[in-house]
Structure 1
Amino acid sequence: MRISPVFAALLGLGALAYGPTALAKGNLVFCSEGSPGGFDIAQYTTSIENDAAEPLYNGLVEFERGATRVIPSLATGWDVSDDGLTYTFRTFRLRQGVKFHANKDFTPTRDFNADDVLLTFQRMLDPQHPFRVAYPAEFPYFVSMDLDKNIARVEKRDPYTVVFTLNSVDAAFIQNLAMGFASIVSAEYATQLMASGRLSDFDQKPIGTGPFVFQRYQKDAQIRYRANPDYWDPQQVRLDQLIFSINTDASVRVQKLRKGECQVTVNPRPADLKALAADPKINMLDQPGFNLGYIAYNVQHPPFDQLQVRQAMDMAVNKAAIVKAVYQDAGQLAVNFMPPSQWSYDPSIRDAGYDPDKARALLAAAGVKPGTPITLWAMPVQRPYNPNAKLMAEMLQADWGKVGLDVKIVSYEWGEYIKRTKNGEHDVMLLGWTGDNGDPDNWMGTLYSCGAIGSNNVSMWCDPEYDALVQQAKRITDPAARTALYQQAQQRMKQQVPITPVAHSTVHQPLSVRVQDFKVSPFGRNSFSGVSVD
Structure 2
Amino acid sequence: MRASTRKAAIAVTAIAALAAAGCAESDRDDSGGSSTKDTLVFGVAGDPKVLDPSFASDGESLRVARQVFETLVRPEEGGTKPTPGLAESWQPDAAGTTWSFKLRTGVKFHDGTDFNAEAVCANFNRWFNSAGLMQSPDVTPYWQDVMGGFAKNEDPELPPSLFKSCTAKDPTTVDLAFTRVSSKIPSALMLPSFAIHSPQALQQYDASNVTGTADDIKYPAYAMQHPTGTGPFKFKSWDLANKSLTIERNEEYWGDKAKLKTIVFRTISDENARKQALRSGDIQGYDLVGPADVEPLKSEGFNMLTRPAFNVLYLAINQKGNPALAKLEVRQAIAHALNRQALVDSKLPPGAKVATQFMPDTVEGWNPQVKTYDYNVEEAKRLLAAAGASNLTLRFHYPTEVTRPYMPNPKDIFELLSNDLKAVGITVEGIPLKWSPDYLNATTSGSNHDLHLLGWTGDYGDAYNFIGTFFDRPKDEWGYTNKPLFDQFQDADTTADNAQRVEKYKALNAAVMEFLPGVPISHSPPAIVFGKDVTGVKPSPLTDERYSTAEFK
Answer whether TM exceeds 0.5 for this pair: yes
Does residue 124 in structure 1 map to residue 132 in structure 2?
no
Correspondence 1:129-140 to 2 at 5 A: 132=134, 138-140=139-141
Q: 1:25-58 CA distances to partner (integer Å, 9 max, x unpaired)?
A: 6011111111121122222223222112211101
Check the 8 A contact 2:371/2:514 in 1, yes or no: no
Counterpart position of 1:201: 221
Does residue 73 in structure 1 map to residue 76 in structure 2?
no
> Which is worse superposed, 189-198 or 301-310?
189-198
Structure 1 residues 162, 288: closer, same or farther in 2, change over 3 A?
A: closer
Q: 1:246-289 CA distances to partner (integer Å, 9 max, x unpaired)?
A: 11222111222222222221111111122112112x12222431
Counterpart position of 1:519: 538
The counterpart of 1:230, out of the listed 252, 275, 286, is: 252
Counterpart position of 1:498: 517
Distance 2:262 2:130 in 1: 38
The counterpart of 2:283, out of the listed 258, 262, 279, is: 262
Counterpart position of 2:154: none
Q: 1:168-193 CA distances to partner (integer Å, 9 max, x unpaired)?
A: 11233111101111111222222223
Correspondence 1:423-502 to 2 at 5 A: 423-424=445-446, 426-450=449-473, 453=475, 458-502=477-521
Counterpart position of 1:186: 198
Check the 8 A contact 1:25/1:239 in 2, yes or no: yes
> Which is worse superposed, 29-38 or 468-477?
468-477
Q: 1:373-423 CA distances to partner (integer Å, 9 max, x unpaired)?
A: 413223532122111111001122222223232322322133443344332
Name the SS for the 1:370 alignment partner: coil
Distance 1:78 1:373 in 2: 50
Counterpart position of 2:41: 29
Counterpart position of 2:164: 152
> Which is worse superposed, 372-381 or 309-318?
372-381
Counterpart position of 2:328: 307
Structure 1 residues 415, 161: closer, same or farther in 2, change over 3 A?
A: farther
Distance 2:287 2:197 in 1: 27
Q: 1:432-490 CA distances to partner (integer Å, 9 max, x unpaired)?
A: 11221111111121232117x37xxx334443222223222222233321121111111
Counterpart position of 2:110: 100
Name the SS for the 2:478 alignment partner: coil
Structure 1 residues 360, 29: closer, same or farther in 2, change over 3 A?
A: same
Distance 1:473 1:314 in 2: 27
Structure 1 residues 236, 500: closer, same or farther in 2, change over 3 A?
A: farther
Check the 8 A contact 1:315/1:355 in 2, yes or no: yes
Distance 1:40 1:318 in 2: 41
Name the SS for the 2:528 alignment partner: strand
Does residue 362 in structure 1 map to residue 363 in structure 2?
no
Distance 1:409 1:273 in 2: 30
Counterpart position of 2:3: none
Q: CA deviation at 1:295?
A: 0.9
Distance 1:42 1:461 in 2: 29
The counterpart of 1:276, out of the listed 297, 303, 324, is: 297
> Which is worse superposed, 322-331 or 52-61?
322-331
Distance 1:120 1:399 in 2: 49
Counterpart position of 1:317: 338
Distance 2:254 2:445 in 1: 41
**Root-mean-square deviation (Å):** 2.7
Counterpart position of 1:252: 273
TM-score by length of 2: 0.82
Distance 2:330 2:106 in 1: 58
Q: 1:214-252 CA distances to partner (integer Å, 9 max, x unpaired)?
A: 22224472211111222222x241111101111122211
Structure 1 residues 416, 125: closer, same or farther in 2, change over 3 A?
A: farther
Q: CA deviation at 1:332?
A: 0.8
Structure 1 residues 26, 460: closer, same or farther in 2, change over 3 A?
A: farther
Counterpart position of 1:382: 403
Distance 2:223 2:319 in 1: 33
State, as a whole percentage, how many aligned pairs show the same letter. 28
Q: CA deviation at 1:77?
A: 2.0
Runs of 5+ consecutive residues of structure 2 not aligned to the other structure: 1-35, 150-160, 211-218
- What is the total number of aligned residue pairs between the two structures? 494
Check the 8 A contact 2:75/2:82 in 1, yes or no: yes
Name the SS for the 1:374 alignment partner: strand
Name the SS for the 2:524 alignment partner: strand
Distance 1:350 1:332 in 2: 17
Q: 1:470-529 CA distances to partner (integer Å, 9 max, x unpaired)?
A: 222222233321121111111110011112111111233322232221010121233312
Check the 8 A contact 1:37/1:415 in 2, yes or no: no
Check the 8 A contact 1:270/1:330 in 2, yes or no: no
